Structure formats: structure tokens, C-alpha cells
Structure 1
Amino acid sequence: MARRVGLIWVLSALLTGALASSPQPLAVKSLNDWLNQVGTGELLLKPTESSAGNSAINGWDSAVHLGAEVDVKVSGPVAAVTLKQSYRNDSPHYVEAIYAYPIAESAAVHYMEVIVGSRRIVGEIREKAQAKAIYQDAKKQGKRAALVEQQRPNLFTSKVANIAPGETIHVELRYTEALAIDGREFSLRLPTTMTSRFHPQESSIKPVEQGPIVPSSAVGQSSHLADITVDIDGGWPIQNIESPSHPFVERSLGRGYRVHMGSSFSDKVAMDQDVVLRWQLDPVASASGAVFSEEYKGEHYALVMLRTPDEMTSGPRMPREVVFVIDTSGSMAGQRMYHAKQALSQAVERLSPDDRFNVVEFNNQHSRLFSSMRSASAINVKQALNWVGRLQGGGGTMMLPAVEDALSVRSDPAYLRQVILITDASVGNEAEILRVVERQRKGARLFTVGIGVSPNSYLLRKAAQVGQGDYVYIASGQEVKARMQRLFAKLENPVLKQLNIDLPEGAEAEVWPNPLPDLYHGRPLYLAMKLDKPIDHLVLKAQTDRLWQQRIALPEPTEATGIHTLWAREKIAAQLDGLRQGKTQEEVRQAVLAVALEHAVMSPYTSFVAVEETPVRPAGEDLKKASVPNRRPVDQAYPKTALGLTQQWYLASLLMLVGLALLVRVRLRA
């Protein structure tokens, strides 16, 4: 008996030490921390100071989330999205509300409106500090006011002050984005939730931490539901509409289709995974590109889409030197880990004997399969597949050291050097990772494979852009093979690099992105242009194994709204890249402000604010709170990194008490 008690005591101590020492997200300490960790569209209500002690997180709690409406109008490669979320204040008190919601990282958010009862509050774009001051002043005076701020590239927050008892509020955002295109496939992604983000304690970046994320059964059947409709006018004949994420119904609109997510046109879908919708251009559509234009404040803006020339998709094959990096952290446990291993195994099996490779896996720490690069011989490939098959998800997400290690491999000029990162990208130190990729890749090209139904798509796409590679997303096991085949086409075909364009004589334009990105098989070139006059053609020049150029006739432009916001967003993204390239915060801030204010778009330095001049809250009336949890992504097992420090100590203390109780009981019997 004494031996059993001793064993229990040892196990308790070991568990205590393991829980207390394992890398975990920092505890939530403030509203800013909370905003950095929020998940599925949640309304947070700020109580009075007297009631703050009843809240689990320093006086902040969430309100009932009734649902969302998403209306998307697709015209060619451009999507105009209206997102409206509805919340109800069921309490008998006035409230100040804060809601947070992830949206597409490529979106140009250009409009905000809050509807409280019968009143509409339309936002105006202002410098961030100024907007906050206007909002705070109105709130103190008891006026209805609204403030929308960008917290992350793909996360925004809205505050609404002085909401009356019993009122329902609607918060509406409108944004424009360019669709992802791969060959003839067009893809739309609508985020509805997010995976908890791990933040290394030693990082100098402001932490991004998780909020309360619970199983769907905990939120009830009527909450966290979205009504989503997509009208598609492809610009060309389309076919094969599909969704790997949700069932859907469709009907013809003549030139296009209306698609509703769900099993009927009245259905709503649970907000526990990104909504993904894809369609194909009809093979008879042979257009080399498209032009969408808009006049804004007397200026001419255009979004030009050019398709990859077919004759550049074949050529001599160079042997490759590939480092595969796979995320085995806690957020990858379950389905995600299984799909990641499937993808990695396919990639390893695809290697040729004259290729060289290695595999790096990371969670709290990282390790290599081989001490150095190995040839892709049958023996080495088999060893790699066996090693990959034994991988399991668990622990933290220390991505930065693993990426550094993969990029540090000494390159051989006789080989094409590639790094393939397979992950859900659930980290908060994106800026540090991007900085490392930019400074240390030394000719290597970084490709990313997004895993799961709610990946951090901002980091996946931006890392591929900075690493001069490309990206794919895998949301389900049924599409692993098809998605990886698309990636292989990019890895194994020549790339168009050192791109530049020549405009017709006499035409001038400010073009973004600048410099132009390298182009891979199937990817179009997007040009956001501010022109002094319309153009009917341009000359595209590039380098592969030889100099190459092609004169491309442009079709008649299609008039569209929001094109100037896409141009502004591309320019702002380039300006923000300056923070990694040595520019000061103030230099970047001033440059971004000039563009964001001119085009009324959200940015890290601009916010939307709106005030209703008539006070509505009686003097002395308190603000109260309500609560709602967030839906956990449907494919995520309960993460092994999910326990915060407080929960760890509670569990550790409980185990110690159990061990002490058993020890005392045995001694009393003795």
C-alpha cells in the first residue's frame, strides 16, 4: 500500500511540474489582451466596476450572439461582401458593447454602420487616436456612439456605447477583396471563427491569446449561426460549383448563379469553420485577362488580372533540395494532424531520386529527421514515411526556431532550394516569423500548406509572398490529394520571375504590388493601378531560363465599385512591409494615414467612428454585462496547449491535494 501511495505522490508531482513548466499562453490581464485573443464573432459587454469582480476575466464578459448575415456579390475576380451581425441586449440595463470578428486578411474594409433599434449610426474614417477620443467623449455624455478598429490584419473590433435595454443591434461591415485564383478555379473564403493562437513568452510582439472557445453543444442550437448567400457573375461561363466545407443549394441567375450555404435557401450554418466556395471557368473561356475600373475623386483606378501564359508552364527540371516543416503542436491534434501527415507523405513520395530532402517537426521544440540533407533514395524515403507516420500533435507552437532551422540549410547552386511549411499557423508572433523569412531565406522559396477549417490565412499567404513561393489550403481529408497536386505543379514547373510591365506610350500609372511577385503555374497576376488614362494593352516581361516578353491586349473594362479600395489596400500593405525593412513606426504611420484617409479604408492607424448627438442614457445609469461563449473549430480536438496558467495551477494543486489526502489516510490506518 505504501508503494502505491508513493507512486501516486510521484505521479502527482510529475504532473504538477509538467503542467506548471510547459509553455503556455500568458494569462489575460486587460481589455487589450482580451481583444488580441477573441475568437468567433462575440459581443463583449463592459459591466460597472462594482460588478467587475463577478467576471472571469477582469470584469469583461460576452453577450448573447444571435447570428450573422453575409451577402456576397461576385463579379469576375472581385467580391463585394456585406457582413451584418445581430445581437440583443436582454438585460434591463444600458450597456457598452464590444464585438470582435475575423474577416478575410485580403479584405479592404471601407464601410461600417451600426443599427440600434430604429437608429442608424454610420461610421466616418478618422485617425485612430482621434476616433477613440471622439468615441470616449460621446460615451461619457450618454450618447450612442460606435467605434471600429483594426486589431490584426484579419481581426476587427467594434464598440457600441449606450445601448438601451431590450434593443437589438446590428453591426454591418462592407469590404471588397480579390478572389484567390488557381488555373481556372476561383475560390472564396469567409472566416467565421479562429483557432487559438500560441504566443511564445520570449517574443517581443504583443501577445495574441485565446478567448473562451467551447464545443458547439455549449452555445445552444440557435446561437452562432450564419445566413450566407453568394451571387456569382463570373464574367465568363462557369461550372462545377463546389464547397469542401458546407452543403449548399443553387439556382441560375441567367449570367451567373445564386448560391446559399445550407441544405435549403432558408438554412443557416454553424459558425464553427470557414466557409469555402469554389467554381471553375468553362474550358471554352479563353480570355487572357480581365479589367475592372472605377472613377474615384476624379482619378482612374483599375484592377487588371492577367493569366499565366501556357507556354511557360513546361521546361527543364532542376533537381530540388527540399526541407519539409510540419507543425505537430496541440492545435494540430486530431483531424488536422492526420491531414498534415497525409499531405507530407504525398510530398515525400513525389520526390525524385536526384532530389535531396529533410523533415523538421516542431511543437514546444523542433527536431530534424536527418542530421543533414539526404538523397531521396527508396531507403531514405521509406525511413521518412515511417517517421512521419509516428508523429502526434501536442505542446506549444514554437514555429520561429523551426523556420530558422529550415532556412539555415546550406544551399547548393546545382539544386532548386525549397521549404514547405505545413501548419494551421495558429501563432501570434507573425511579424517575427515574416522578418526571419525575409532576411534568412537566401534564395530558398517558401511554400505554405494551410491545414484545418480555420487556419491563420494571413500568415500562410504573407509568408508565401515574402518567401517568393505559393500556398494551398487543405480543409478536409477528401481534398488532400487534389490540393497537393496543385502544389506539386508549382514546385515542379518553371517560375516567371523578375516581372515588370511596360505601358502604352504616354500612359503613366502607380502600380501595386511593387515589385511584382513571381508567378507560378496557374496563378494570375493582379495589378492594382492608378492611371492617368485608360489603356488597351500592356507588355509583360519576365525571366525564366531566358528573357521573355509578351504583348497582352486588354478587354474592355467592366465598371465596378470598390476598385480604388483594393488599390489603397495594396499600397498600404507595401507601406506596412517597411516596418520589416528598417523604416520607423512614424514614417510608416504617416504614409499609411495619407492613403487610408483619402480612400476611407481601415488600417492599423485609422478607425471608423460614429456618434448620435442626442444623449439617451440617464445620468447615473450603470452599464451591465451578458455572456456568450465561442464555437470551437469543428475539426479541432481539445488542444493540449489550451490550459491557461490559472487552470494549470488549479489542476496541479488538485493533484497535490489528492496525493496528500491518500498519504494521510494510509498513515492514519497504520
Structure 2
Amino acid sequence: MATLSQISRLPRMLGAVLLLCLQVASVSAESLKGGDVTRGSLVSRDEAGQVAEMPLLDTQVKMTVTGPILRAEVTQTFTNPSDSWSEALYLFPLPNEAAVDHLQMIIGDRIVEGEIKEKEAAKATYEAAKTDGKQAALVEQDRPNLFHTSVANIPPNGKVTIKIEYQQTLVWQDGAFSLRFPLAITPRYAGMTEPARREIKGEISLANGWQVLPGERETRMVNSVDEQSVQGKVAIEVVLQPGFELDYLRSPSHSLEQASDETEQQALSVLIDQSDEYKDFVLNWAPVASAQPRAAFFSEHKNGENYGLLMLMPPQDIDASAVNREVIFVIDTSGSMGGTSMIAAREALKAGINGLSSGDAFNIVEFNSSTSVLHRRAVAASEPNKRRALQFIEQLDADGGTEMRSALEAALSRDDDSRRLRQVIFITDGSVSDERGLFKLINDRLQGTRLFTVGIGSAPNSFFMEEAAVAGHGTFTYIATADEAQTVMENLFDRLAQPALTHIRVAGADVHAVMPTQIPDLYAGEPLAVAMKLESGSQQVEISGRIGDVAWSETLTVQPSDESAGVEMDWAQRAVQDWRRAYLRGESQERMRNAIVELGLKHHLVTPYTSMVAVDKTPVRSAAEPLTSQAVPTAKPHGLQLALAQGATGYQWTLMMGLVLLLVGGGLLIQLRRQAGDSELQA
């Protein structure tokens, strides 16, 4: 029986518990609000953790495409409106294949060039310069598609300009070339089992939730309608020299201003200044039918070595009997898929169901904070089963976290008795933080299954999507809007219905260091693209593989020259990617790291283990002058809806639990008071 003293303490205890729950809910809501990060976030801090806005004046992106090589300059200018010196942290996305090899920092009339160093050494150089009052910049790679710049000692009421240069090699697919420039970052989800290792604004720590780099990097991000006004404009210029007559040139994402001249050079421009335009910029172009590429070879002589880039379209007309398939559709219904992404995902899944043949079998795996399956095992693709699946798809909505591991485990589990060709089609925005662990899971569980990723939304995590497809011996497909879901999924199913080119080898007497070392399977409409080193003079390169049960080989004669700038950089970037995937062939972490460090230092590349640092030798800030904190409010990706109803960081659950505790506690309090009253009456 409760005592009167216990009863008197109970309201205070319940009030404290409820207050704690509501405080956690409030903090988590604030963190979610700050998690909608987009096209770069410039944040800074001082010892007291004070924060002020640093407006982004403008962003200029200049791209030059010559044949398959894209060279880009990304220049962003910020202003410091405060009367004190600042250190800024700048987070920005780039294409997954981007090879960042140049940094320039301009503050006032000072121009500082970057040099490459091992990551730890570069960080130490930067920290020492910051302490000494020198202007400095540091560029680090957090993910292959996400980079981070630190800028020390920005002057009061001054401006800072940061210029990043990168190179990317483009390949044609389905008869067309495509480039993508990310203007937004979809927030990452930290799994429910991951420990809290990261502070937000120096005030709280979260074990779960939507962040850009959970558990890795301190960030402050803001998102509100009022703060959007400080965002500057983004001007994109593209100079396109394709080397062939164009059939079409268009952007499915943005409106273009276009001009051309007699040299077949195309000049394009895009001005982005509206909130619904903050999504990946995509540009597609294709040659006329008579100029469709069959094979291409580019080479460059640099630092005493010959580098080659070979592209070849395998034959597409080899007869092969159709096979029955077991297609497992996996759809992400987590909170980051809210808004237009969920609409596009539903349309993509419906198109996939409608694309099944009568001899196929299928199942649907849905996941957010938990995983569920439509059927206990795959069912025949009959019309009644298809209709039942379409009805199920219509009621799917976005909510909760992105607990992807259990969904992958369910999708990659199979019956040993199944003789069907097994294909997993994974529809998601890839907003996860533990990419490497998921890649290993795919590699370990794959067996004979093939995994195909379908990226959804205005700014999917392309690094995860592409690398998951590589680990799964499949392909990556991108769907930006619901309007294109039908066409894109039809094209994907056309590719999957045809046999892939497998067991690919590229060899030659004087051909070595072919990258990648393990060439992935190729599907219909996909070209072979490999980089290599060659001896001087004419060389023969033999490519072989199997298309279904048919053996195929072709011998090409190539002539190295010194005409194509950027081929050496292409080889180096492919080599870094190849070593980053070393887990696929069982390499040790130490050997992988040493190889990537050597490549980064030799070829002046920012990698996971090498960074670029720029230091002005002359101190500009005295030790007596403090650094203050400044930040750039950022716009969220177009169409992304993260709201209380989705519970992305768990704060909805916390608030609900607080209310439950209040109700239960209130009922318990009433009951205890009744018991106390009865005791007093009995006394």
C-alpha cells in the first residue's frame, strides 16, 4: 500500500518525467528541422558555440564537356556580416564519380592554392594555421559524393570565395549521354542500433534520426521559409562539345537557355533561384542514329606513362531463350521519402508489377522503421495477384526511420529449390549513413541474386545507390518524378529481360593496370568502360565474356596518343574507386588505405585518406581577436517533406510516450488518492 509521502512525491515525479519527454521531443524536432540539408552548408563555431548567419551570395558552376570528359568549376561566394573573425565549415555534394583535384580560396585580395597531403597531416597543417591567425582552407572527402571544406580566419565584414574543380568521365547508356550535378543533399538516417556519437549545435546528442553524416561530423543546419531568402542564386553554364551531331539535348529537371554555333558546340545556361528548383540538375543528349557510338578510345601521355580509356558497346542482337524470373520489389516508405518521392516510388512500383510476365513470380518487401512482406514467399505473376499488389501499393505512405538492413536481409533470403533467375529491384532514396556495412551485407548474402537499385526523388544518395548496384552485380536507375516512372521502369525491365554480359575480361600483351580489376556485369544498352595503362605504339586489346550461354570476344587495335586531356585523371579516379571496393575481393583495410593514399598523393586527388589544404603564410588575425560563429541557412531538396507526422528522428514517438505517461500517471494518481482516502476513512 502506498504511503502518503509516496503519494505526495508522485505528481512531482510524473511532472519531471513528462517535462523530460517533452524536452526531448522539442530538441528532436529542432534537429529534424535542421536536418534538411541541401546544396552546401557553411557553418562555423567559437568556443562559446555562438551562431550567426552568413548569407550565401551566389554559386557559379561552369562545366565543359569534351567527348566523354567533363571538367567543372564550382565557385561559391559568402559574406561575413559580423565585426569579428570567423572560421567556416562548408558542406557540399558532388557527383559520385567526381575527382576533386583543385582548391582555390579567395579572401579579399588573397588567393590561396591547395596542395594534397595525407588526411591527418592536412588537418594538422590547417589547425596550426588557424591557431596562428593565418588564412587557410581544408577540403576533405566524407563520402565519394559529399565533401567538406573548412575555412579559417575569414575577415570581419569581408567575403570569401571557394572554388572547387573536379573531373568526371561520362558514358553513354541506352544510346544517350547524361550528366548530373547535385544541388541538394537528402538527409541520412542513423539506425536505431547506432550509438550516439555526434553533437548537434553543441547542445544535444541523438542516437537516431535524420542527419547528413550521423556520428561523424558536427553540423548545424536550418530550414524555414523565412531563412530561404538569404539563399543566393545558382548559375550553371555548360559548354558541350560532344564530337557528333545531336539528335536531342534536353534537361528533365530544369529549363534551359541554349545557343549553338557552326562547330557543333552547345552553350547552355540555367539560373536557379526558386525553392522548387533545388534538385539535381540533369542534362541528357544523344547522337543521331547514324552517329551512334560503337566503340571509342581516348589516351593521354603524362608523367612518362600512357593512359587509355576504352568504351565499347557489346553486341545487342544475340539470341537467348527467355527465362522465368523471381522478382523481389523492395520499397522504402521511410520519412525521407515523404512528398513527391513517395508518389514517384509508388508509380515506379506499380510500373514494375505491370511489367511482369506470366511466367514470373514476385513479392514486395516494404520497410521504414520495421520490415514487412506482402506474401510469405513469392507468388505467381497472375492477374489476380497483380491486382492485389496494386491495391497494396496504393495505401503505402512515408513514415518512420530507414532501417534498411532487415529489408535487405529479407529480400536476399531465398529458397534453395527455386530455379528461377532471381532479381531484386530496390526502390529508395538511399538516405542511410552506414553504407559500408550495407555493401558488405549485400556482398555476403547475394549468392546468385542480382540487385538493381532505383533512385527516387530530387536528390537521392547516388553514392549508396550506385555502390549497392555494384555490390549486387546489377545497375542503378534514377527516377526524379512520378511522370517518368512508367518509361524508366519499362526501360529497366527491357534490360532485365535480356541476358547480361558476364565474366568480362580485358587483356593485351602490353596492356596492364586495367581498372576496375573486377569488371561488373553489363546489361542491354550499357557500354563497357575501362581505363588502363599501355606501352607506346599500336596495341591490341582483347575483350571477352559470356552473353547468356554464348561465348563472345572482340579484338581492338588502339593507338596511344597525347590528345585527350583528363584520361590520366580518369584512370586514377577509377583506381581509387576500385581500391575502395576492395572488400569485394577480401583485401585488408590497411592495404586498401595505403594504395589509396599513394594514388591520391601521386595524382593530386582528394580521397577518403588524402585531403587538400591551402595556407597563406602571412598571419592576418592576432591571437587576441576571437573567432565567432556564422552559418548559411540552406534550402531543403525540392519535394522533400519531413514533418512531425513522419517521426523521422523519433520525436513523434517521444511525444506520444509523454502523453501516454501523462494519462497513465494521471490515472495512477487518481487511484492512489482514492486508496489514500479509503485508508484515512478506515483510520
Are residues 392 and 116 of structure 1, via their aligned partners in 2, closer, same or farther at CA, if it must alter by over 3 Å? Answer: same
- Aligned equivalents of 1:17, 1:610: Cα separation in 2: 46
Are residues 301 and 491 of structure 1, via their aligned partners in 2, closer, same or farther at CA, if it must alter by over 3 Å? Answer: same
Are residues 479 and 13 of structure 1, via their aligned partners in 2, closer, same or farther at CA, if it must alter by over 3 Å? Answer: farther
Which residue, 465, 469, 475 being the options, matches 1:460? Answer: 465
Query: Aligned residue for 2:480?
Result: 475
Q: Point out the more displaced range, 647-656 or 153-162.
A: 647-656
- 1:46 counterpart letter in structure 2: R
Are residues 593 and 564 of structure 1, via their aligned partners in 2, closer, same or farther at CA, if it must alter by over 3 Å? Answer: same
Are residues 557 and 236 of structure 1, via their aligned partners in 2, closer, same or farther at CA, if it must alter by over 3 Å? Answer: farther
Are residues 17 and 354 of structure 1, via their aligned partners in 2, closer, same or farther at CA, if it must alter by over 3 Å? Answer: farther
Query: Aligned residue for 2:242?
Result: 234
**1:381 aligned counterpart, secondary structure:** helix
- Aligned equivalents of 1:438, 1:542: Cα separation in 2: 22
C-alpha deviation, 1:557, in angstroms: 6.1
Q: Does 1:561 align with 2:565?
A: yes
- 1:133 counterpart letter in structure 2: A
Task: Answer yes or no: is the 8 Å Cα contact 1:25–1:201 preserved in 2.
Answer: no
Superposed, 1:20-31 pairs within 5 Å as none
Query: Aligned residue for 1:188?
Result: 179
Task: Answer yes or no: is the 8 Å Cα contact 2:350–2:390 preserved in 1.
Answer: yes
Query: Aligned residue for 2:204?
Result: none
C-alpha deviation, 1:657, in angstroms: 8.2
Are residues 558 and 325 of structure 1, via their aligned partners in 2, closer, same or farther at CA, if it must alter by over 3 Å? Answer: farther
- Aligned equivalents of 1:260, 1:457: Cα separation in 2: 24
- Deviation per CA, 1:140-188: give whole Å up to 9, x if none: 1111111111111211111111111122111111111122521211111
Q: Point out the more displaced range, 351-360 or 410-419.
A: 410-419
Query: Aligned residue for 1:259?
Result: 268
Q: Does 1:103 align with 2:111?
A: no
Task: Answer yes or no: is the 8 Å Cα contact 2:58–2:232 preserved in 1.
Answer: yes
Task: Answer yes or no: is the 8 Å Cα contact 1:38–1:100 preserved in 2.
Answer: no
Which residue, 123, 131, 137 being the options, matches 1:132? Answer: 123
Q: Does 1:367 align with 2:372?
A: yes
Task: Answer yes or no: is the 8 Å Cα contact 1:20–1:649 preserved in 2.
Answer: no
Q: Which runs of 5+ in 1 are unaligned?
A: 1-11, 29-33, 56-60
Q: Point out the more displaced range, 63-72 or 120-129.
A: 63-72
C-alpha deviation, 1:118, in angstroms: 1.0
Superposed, 1:76-475 pairs within 5 Å as 76-203=67-194, 209-210=211-212, 217-221=225-229, 223-253=231-261, 254-262=263-271, 272-312=278-318, 314-412=319-417, 414-475=419-480
C-alpha deviation, 1:19, in angstroms: 9.1
- Deviation per CA, 1:356-409: give whole Å up to 9, x if none: 111100001011100111111111111111111111111111111101110012
- 2:287 counterpart letter in structure 1: L
C-alpha deviation, 1:110, in angstroms: 0.8
**1:177 aligned counterpart, secondary structure:** strand
Q: Does 1:502 align with 2:507?
A: yes
Q: Point out the more displaced range, 454-463 or 528-537.
A: 528-537
- 2:495 counterpart letter in structure 1: K
- 2:43 counterpart letter in structure 1: L
- Aligned equivalents of 1:15, 1:533: Cα separation in 2: 75
RMSD: 3.3
C-alpha deviation, 1:627, in angstroms: 3.0
Task: Answer yes or no: is the 8 Å Cα contact 2:327–2:425 preserved in 1.
Answer: yes
- 1:209 counterpart letter in structure 2: Q
Are residues 21 and 217 of structure 1, via their aligned partners in 2, closer, same or farther at CA, if it must alter by over 3 Å? Answer: closer
- Aligned equivalents of 1:395, 1:27: Cα separation in 2: 17
Task: Answer yes or no: is the 8 Å Cα contact 2:398–2:646 preserved in 1.
Answer: no
- 1:40 counterpart letter in structure 2: R
Larger radius of gyration: 2
Task: Answer yes or no: is the 8 Å Cα contact 1:214–1:632 preserved in 2.
Answer: no
- Deviation per CA, 1:319-352: give whole Å up to 9, x if none: 0011110001111122211111111111111111
- Deviation per CA, 1:454-505: give whole Å up to 9, x if none: 00001111111111111210101221122112211211011110011232xx
- Deviation per CA, 1:524-543: give whole Å up to 9, x if none: 11111122225455222111
Are residues 19 and 105 of structure 1, via their aligned partners in 2, closer, same or farther at CA, if it must alter by over 3 Å? Answer: farther
Task: Answer yes or no: is the 8 Å Cα contact 1:305–1:527 preserved in 2.
Answer: yes
Task: Answer yes or no: is the 8 Å Cα contact 1:27–1:644 preserved in 2.
Answer: no
Task: Answer yes or no: is the 8 Å Cα contact 1:228–1:268 preserved in 2.
Answer: no
Task: Answer yes or no: is the 8 Å Cα contact 2:332–2:367 preserved in 1.
Answer: yes
- Deviation per CA, 1:244-266: give whole Å up to 9, x if none: 1111111003222111114xxxx
- Deviation per CA, 1:205-243: give whole Å up to 9, x if none: 987824666657333445142110111111221231111
**2:624 aligned counterpart, secondary structure:** coil
C-alpha deviation, 1:586, in angstroms: 2.3
**2:503 aligned counterpart, secondary structure:** strand
Which residue, 549, 555, 562 being the options, matches 1:551? Answer: 555
Are residues 508 and 398 of structure 1, via their aligned partners in 2, closer, same or farther at CA, if it must alter by over 3 Å? Answer: same
Query: Aligned residue for 1:601?
Result: 605
C-alpha deviation, 1:135, in angstroms: 1.1
**2:525 aligned counterpart, secondary structure:** coil
Task: Answer yes or no: is the 8 Å Cα contact 1:205–1:431 preserved in 2.
Answer: no
Q: Does 1:574 align with 2:562?
A: no
Are residues 374 and 220 of structure 1, via their aligned partners in 2, closer, same or farther at CA, if it must alter by over 3 Å? Answer: closer
**2:128 aligned counterpart, secondary structure:** helix
Task: Answer yes or no: is the 8 Å Cα contact 2:37–2:635 preserved in 1.
Answer: no
- 2:317 counterpart letter in structure 1: E
Query: Aligned residue for 1:611?
Result: 615
Task: Answer yes or no: is the 8 Å Cα contact 1:218–1:629 preserved in 2.
Answer: no
Query: Aligned residue for 1:621?
Result: 625
- 2:297 counterpart letter in structure 1: V
Which residue, 520, 524, 528 being the options, matches 2:523? Answer: 520
TM-score in terms of structure 2 length = 0.86
C-alpha deviation, 1:662, in angstroms: 14
C-alpha deviation, 1:559, in angstroms: 2.2
Which residue, 579, 587, 599 being the options, matches 2:591? Answer: 587
Q: Does 1:632 align with 2:636?
A: yes
- 1:258 counterpart letter in structure 2: A
Task: Answer yes or no: is the 8 Å Cα contact 1:42–1:63 preserved in 2.
Answer: no
Are residues 324 and 645 of structure 1, via their aligned partners in 2, closer, same or farther at CA, if it must alter by over 3 Å? Answer: closer
Query: Aligned residue for 1:530?
Result: 533
**1:184 aligned counterpart, secondary structure:** coil
**1:181 aligned counterpart, secondary structure:** coil
Query: Aligned residue for 2:497?
Result: 492
C-alpha deviation, 1:62, in angstroms: 5.6
Task: Answer yes or no: is the 8 Å Cα contact 1:575–1:592 preserved in 2.
Answer: yes
Query: Aligned residue for 1:31?
Result: none
- 2:511 counterpart letter in structure 1: E
Are residues 144 and 325 of structure 1, via their aligned partners in 2, closer, same or farther at CA, if it must alter by over 3 Å? Answer: same
Are residues 19 and 481 of structure 1, via their aligned partners in 2, closer, same or farther at CA, if it must alter by over 3 Å? Answer: farther
Task: Answer yes or no: is the 8 Å Cα contact 1:227–1:269 preserved in 2.
Answer: no
- Aligned equivalents of 1:603, 1:26: Cα separation in 2: 34
C-alpha deviation, 1:650, in angstroms: 7.5
**1:434 aligned counterpart, secondary structure:** helix
Task: Answer yes or no: is the 8 Å Cα contact 2:18–2:661 preserved in 1.
Answer: no
Are residues 663 and 372 of structure 1, via their aligned partners in 2, closer, same or farther at CA, if it must alter by over 3 Å? Answer: closer
- Aligned equivalents of 1:130, 1:37: Cα separation in 2: 32
Q: Aligned residue pairs: how many?
A: 632
C-alpha deviation, 1:451, in angstroms: 0.4
- Deviation per CA, 1:44-92: give whole Å up to 9, x if none: 1222x2x32x45xxxxx66322221100111122211111111111111
- 1:330 counterpart letter in structure 2: G
Are residues 282 and 97 of structure 1, via their aligned partners in 2, closer, same or farther at CA, if it must alter by over 3 Å? Answer: same
% of aligned pairs identical? 34
- Aligned equivalents of 2:167, 2:434: Cα separation in 1: 27
Task: Answer yes or no: is the 8 Å Cα contact 2:301–2:562 preserved in 1.
Answer: no
- Aligned equivalents of 1:308, 1:206: Cα separation in 2: 48
